[in-house]
Amino acid sequence: MRMLSSLAAIAVLAGLPVAAQQAPACAPDNGGLKLPKGFCAMMIGQELGNVRHLAVAPNGDIFAGVVGQKGGLYLMRDTTGDGTIDLVRRINEISGTGVLLTGDAVYFAPDDRILRYPWKKGALQPSAPADTIVSGLPVGGHRAKGLVLGSDGGLYVTFGSRTNSCQEKDRTTSSPGVNPCVELNERAGIWRFDPRKPGQKVTDGRRFATGLRNPMAMAIEPHDGTLYMATHGRDQLTENWGFPAEEGRENPAEEFGPVPDGANYGWPYCYFDPRQRKKVKAPEFGGDGRTVADCGQYAQPAIGFPAHWAPMSVVFYVGRQFPLDYRGGVFIAFHGSWNRGPTPDLQQGFRVVYVPFEDGKPTGRYEDFALPAGAANSIRPAGLAVGPDGSLYIGSDAQQKIWRVLYRP
């Protein structure tokens, strides 16, 4: 058994992880990631299940929402100081995505409810059974839930749409849209709840924003408290409506932008064309890929990312380890496409990008940050978190792995 440093030994005796006590060594190949100059990475865990959203506690513990057969809320810890996860504890066995940490609790979002676990700093298990904060959340369709605690103290929860584009017959050729789309009353938006009140139902919440097909990636801008989201756009313009293959491949944009109270981003009636840089009417509601009609009334994104990239997680960089150019901006994890074309070489995404902010606002541009060093889909990022030392953590659900990215010029 190898000896720990005296500092690490003290941490172990105190029942605390030692991951933050020592600077870990990056992998020679960065664990399969391609990063900008000066950055390096190490794979800190694998075979972890299909990890989705991540949160890192002040002591370095990682909390992860995991979906699928090994689903549940997990706590992961490095107890030896070598930078890798060697302790994995499954807190529950309910598949779910969203994870949120506060000073005294861990929130977890299975598809149909929000759980709140009382948690003491450095503990390996909750101090009491979970409270069910909200139950009866909508399932089916885009069922995964994202969570964020607003600057106003509210708990914000994403409700993805049940359908692709609110057709009378979902994902069916030439089936018209339901107008008005009654699904918007209960889905395709962001709802606000009281984070400390157990026993709430959906009707106890308030619809904060609407017209968002699947906005599971959310974060709060740390300076002015603005809520930002990235949402999945609709599919099947070519398959269901006969649009040219290129149109179906390049539309609609994956939208990223601010979400003020009452915002309406226009789904399912309109979508954002990243080449025309405007919203156009969806074919289910009489559009032809060019008609704008009343689409100008809806919220416009700060950035329209390429179609079908599938944004999964958003995190603002609040650390101090990375260079100044990265501070105050946002990282977005994209899962990658499955429907940009009939052949694998046409699929895109599979990356983490960085969006700079100036004066608290997105600049409108972005740059690739973490790309697969091998095959295009060798990483499918789904979770992001910033650690207490300023490292960026990236989780990939398809690969069941977590990386830690550091800056070492």
Task: Tell me what the pLDDT averaged over the chain comes to.
Answer: 94
| Residue 9 pLDDT | 36
| Residue 17 pLDDT | 53
In a domain, 1, yes or no: no
User: CA-CA distance, 308 to 347, in Å (whole number)?
Assistant: 9
Strand, coil or helix: 309: coil
| Residue 3 pLDDT | 32
The residue type at 187: R
| Residue 378 pLDDT | 92
The CA-atom distances, in angstroms, between 29 and each of 22, 41, 130, 373, 405 are: 21, 8, 41, 8, 12
| Residue 183 pLDDT | 98
| Residue 300 pLDDT | 97
User: CA-CA distance, 129 to 118, in Å (whole number)?
Assistant: 8
In a domain, 280, yes or no: yes
| Residue 343 pLDDT | 80
Range of the domain at 207: 6-407
In a domain, 288, yes or no: yes
The residue type at 92: N
| Residue 8 pLDDT | 40
> Which pLDDT tens digit goes with each residue over 320-369?
999 999 999 999 999 999 999 888 888 999 999 999 999 999 999 999 99
| Residue 267 pLDDT | 98
| Residue 341 pLDDT | 81
- Asked if the peptide bond before residue 198 counts as cis, ω within 30 degrees of 0, the response is no
Q: What is the pTM of this model?
A: 0.94
The segments of the chain whose pLDDT lies below 50 read 1-15, 18-20
Nearest alpha carbon to residue 54 among 233, 313, 301: 313
- Ranges of beta strands (E only) in 259-306 are 270-273, 278-281, 303-305
Work out how many domains the chain is built from and give that number.
1
User: CA-CA distance, 377 to 337, in Å (whole number)?
Assistant: 9
Domain holding 154: CATH number? 2.120.10.30
Cβ proximity of 144 and 216 under 8 Å: yes
User: CA-CA distance, 42 to 162, in Å (whole number)?
Assistant: 38
